Chains A and B, each alone.
Chain A
Amino acid sequence: MKNKIIELKGVYVYYQDLLALENVNLEISEGEFHSIIGPNGAGKTTLLKLIIGLIKPTKGTIKVFGKNPWKLGKERKKIGYVPQIMSVDINFPVNVMEVVLMGRYAQIGLFKPPGKIDKELALKAMEKVGIADLYSRSLSKLSGGQRQRVFLARALSNEPEILILDEPTTGVDTATTESFYELLQDLRKDGMTIVIVSHDIGVVAAYVDRIACLNKKLVAHGRPEEVLKEPKLEEMYGCEAILLLHHNIPHIAVKEH
Chain B
Amino acid sequence: MFDILHYSFMQRALISGIIIGIVCSVIGVYIVLKGISFIGAGIAHASFGGVALGFLLGINPLFTAIVFCLFTGWGIGFLSHKNRIKEDTAVGIFFASTMALGILFIGLMKGYNVDLFGYLFGSILAVTEEDLIITISLGFIILTFDVVLFKELMFITFDREMAEVTGIPTTKIYFLLISLIALTVVLSIKVVGIILVSALLITPAATAYQLTEEFKRMMFFSILFGVSGTIAGLFLSYWLNTASGATIVVVITIIFFISLLLSPKRRKKTKKISAG
Contact = CB atoms under 8 A, between A and B. Distances in A.
Interface of A: 52-54, 73-74, 76-77, 79, 81, 83, 87-95, 98-99, 102-103, 105-108, 110-111, 113-114, 138-144, 147, 154, 158, 171
B275 A77 contact: no
A108 B149 CA distance: 12
A110 B149 contact: yes
Contacts of A98: 215
A111 B148 contact: yes
A47 to B, nearest CB: 14
Given A138-B213, A138-B214, A76 B166 contact: yes
16 contacts: A77-B167, A81-B166, A88-B158, A88-B159, A89-B33, A92-B215, A93-B212, A93-B218, A99-B158, A105-B152, A105-B155, A105-B163, A110-B152, A139-B213, A140-B271, A147-B274
Contact of B166 (A77, A99, A114, A171): A77
Given A83-B161, A98-B215, A140-B270, A92 B151 contact: no
B228 to A, nearest CB: 21
Given A52-B165, A76-B167, A110-B152, A102 B213 contact: no
B151 A113 contact: yes
Nearest to A52: B165
A106 B161 contact: no
Given A91-B267, A106-B167, A83 B212 contact: no
A94 B158 contact: yes
A147 B218 CA distance: 21
A221 to B, nearest CB: 25
Contacts of B274: 90, 140-144, 147
A79 B213 CA distance: 30
Contacts of B270: 91, 140-141
Interface in B129-153: 148-152
Categorize the interface residue count of chain B.
20 to 34
Contacts of B267: 91, 140
A110 B147 CA distance: 11
A102 B275 contact: no
> Interface centre among A105, A111, A141, by most B CB within 10 Å?
A105
Contacts of A74: 167
Contact of B155 (A91, A95, A102, A113): A102
Contacts of A158: 166
Interface in B202-235: 209, 212-215, 217-218
A105 B158 CA distance: 13
Contact of A171 (B154, B159, B163, B275): B275
Contacts of B218: 93
Given A94-B154, A114-B151, A140-B270, 12 more contacts: A54-B165, A77-B167, A81-B162, A87-B159, A91-B270, A92-B157, A99-B158, A107-B166, A110-B148, A111-B148, A144-B274, A144-B275
B215 A90 contact: no
Nearest to A91: B267
A86 to B, nearest CB: 9
Nearest to B29: A93
> Interface centre among B33, B152, B155, B165, by most A CB within 10 Å?
B165
B156 to A, nearest CB: 10
Nearest to A114: B151
B102 to A, nearest CB: 35
A27 to B, nearest CB: 22
B36 interface: no
B165 to A, nearest CB: 5
Interface in B247-272: 267, 270-271
A81 B271 CA distance: 24
Contacts of A77: 166-167
> Interface centre among B148, B157, B161, by most A CB within 10 Å?
B161
B158 A89 contact: yes
A104 B54 CA distance: 45
B168 interface: yes
